[in-house]
Homo-oligomer: A and B are copies of this chain.
Amino acid sequence: MIRLESYLSGRWRSGKGEGRAFVDPSTGAALGVVDASGLDIGAGIAHAREAGGAALRAMTFAERGALLRKTADVLAANRARYAEIAAVNCGNTAVDAAIDIDGGVGTLKVYARLGEKLGAARMLIEPGSEQLAKENVFRAAHVWTTRPGVAIHINAFNFPAWGLWEKAAVALLAGVPVVAKPASPTAWLSYEMARDVIAANVLPPGALSLLCGAADGLLDCVGPMDGIAFTGSAHTASMLRRHACVLDRAPRLNVEADSINATILGPDVGEGSDLDALFRREVVKALSVKAGQMCTNIRRILAPAARVEATVAALSAELARLVVGNPAEAEVRVGPLVHVEARDEALEKLAVLGREARAAAGGGMPAQVRGADPERGAFLAPTLLVADDADRARALHEVEVFGPVATVIPYRDLDHAIALAAAGGGSLVASLFSDDPEIGRKAVTGLAPAHGRVMAIDSSVGKAHTGHAIVMPQCVHGGPGRAGGGEELGGVRALRFYMQRSAVQGSPGLLAKLQAEAAEAVM
């Protein structure tokens, strides 16, 4: 039984209370306790803001990038231990763990390279400038400088590694110290990783703090120059928005909430074609990888009405071959949900969807579970629902079962498919499988206003695509409306959240001086 501590004000500190147990979701066995009660969070945040902020702002982008590189190296050296924790605490298969751990390390490396590219600058400048006076004596340029606050990262349970580092990499590169709060059920992996990085002494004092346990009081300390980046449920997001200190002091707040993402099987895709197989492969991934617990996961499968029956049959056959169980077993493709409470919530929401769709595969707890207790483990069978009336459905567009669950929804034509995708009220990602360039163009432009990312796959892409659910650090991540209205990552674009854009008006000579000092960037 491990007891997770918090790293605040430059020291590991143990909570003063009983704490909350976290478990192996395959067996329900307790693994340890997480507790932050009684800690002086305010002092920790002040230390981060002052010591960490000053140290990071004094460094160049290249120097901060080097910090990220060293952090990635420390993590890579301990990867095997992290994968064990991911299996036992997160119910991760080897593939699941790789997405989380390698995804986190990879994102650190991408931002390390970006730091190197931005070089010996501490400020960004947008390309070009505008003449404001009749003679060329007064011009304007736009610069980006680091905000003198802290980054408060409130992370989701499903990515204790990637979630921690994709957020921290960006803030640190921008020069902003990080106070990260992992979700308690899976905080262990975040804790171990942070522990290794801090022990390796690669980051300046105050640059990284970790709060393991309940976040009581965390937002009481927020200031107007801070940035809160949250990933999790719309319900928690709403609580954050309503917090008196958030309302009074108006820090920046970025929200990534779950959304009801859609994939579209193009009207042109022939049954049995390679593209049809690629499409099904992506759906099967959605119903197996991370046990479906990805905020970007496919939840709605939009298929031409005439193709629904064959698609459901083919998918059902593929899903029947997936082994569900304890990821300690090599054959297991689908692990448990994060805990039985999550499974029970998923079962409740499944019942809601059941009013609008019938189950073609799965539909509840699995009949067979490999190497684990089917009752005490948090398992849910890969579930394919089929809706018969797309236009009457509401819950299918609004209720997310956070597990290996998706619904096939028939559409009449491309406009109908685009409208159905938008009926999700704003999503993180939509994907399309089509070989018709005009369909691709029309779908992308039609889907974009309601989606933070659109992936369009044709035969020329084939298996080389990066996946519907996979967040690439080069691309923005976030979505409008139900998805929270946030934006993360996207290469240098990510730095926006932690920096202030300012118009600078002055002589051409002054602007030239700034241009020489700053790194040019398109944000």
Give the B-binding residues of A (Cβ under 8 A). Answer: 122-123, 126-128, 130, 132-135, 137-138, 140, 142-143, 145-148, 224-225, 237-238, 241-242, 247-248, 250, 252, 255, 422, 425-426, 437, 440-441, 444-445, 447-458, 460-462, 464-466, 472, 474-477, 480-482, 484-485, 487, 490-491, 493, 500-507, 509-510, 513-514, 517, 522-523
Contacts and interface: CB of A to CB of B under 8 A. Distances in A.
B510 A472 contact: no
A504 B448 contact: yes
A480 B510 contact: no
A63 B425 CA distance: 29
Copy total for this chain: 2
Contact of A480 (B147, B241, B472): B147
A250 B461 contact: no
B133 A465 contact: yes
A330 to B, nearest CB: 28
Given A146-B449, A474-B140, A505 B455 contact: yes
B224 A134 contact: no
Contacts of A133: 461, 464-466
Given A142-B490, A441-B510, A452 B501 contact: yes
A447 to B, nearest CB: 8
A135 B126 CA distance: 31
A457 B139 CA distance: 11
A505 B465 contact: yes
Given A441-B513, A444-B514, A472-B505, 13 more contacts: A130-B491, A132-B466, A137-B462, A137-B464, A142-B493, A146-B449, A147-B449, A238-B247, A448-B500, A458-B510, A461-B506, A461-B507, A466-B505
A430 B148 CA distance: 17
A438 to B, nearest CB: 9
Contacts of A457: 506
A248 B239 CA distance: 10
B137 A461 contact: yes
Contact of A440 (B225, B252, B513): B513
A516 to B, nearest CB: 9
B522 A503 contact: no
6 contacts: A123-B445, A132-B465, A147-B449, A241-B250, A441-B510, A472-B503
A97 to B, nearest CB: 22
A506 B456 contact: yes
B247 A456 contact: no
B437 A513 contact: yes
Contact of A522 (B126, B441, B482, B514): B126
A142 B449 contact: no
A440 B510 CA distance: 7
A506 B458 contact: yes
A33 B203 CA distance: 63
A475 B440 contact: no
A428 B453 CA distance: 33
Given A456-B506, A460-B509, A502-B453, A140 B224 contact: no
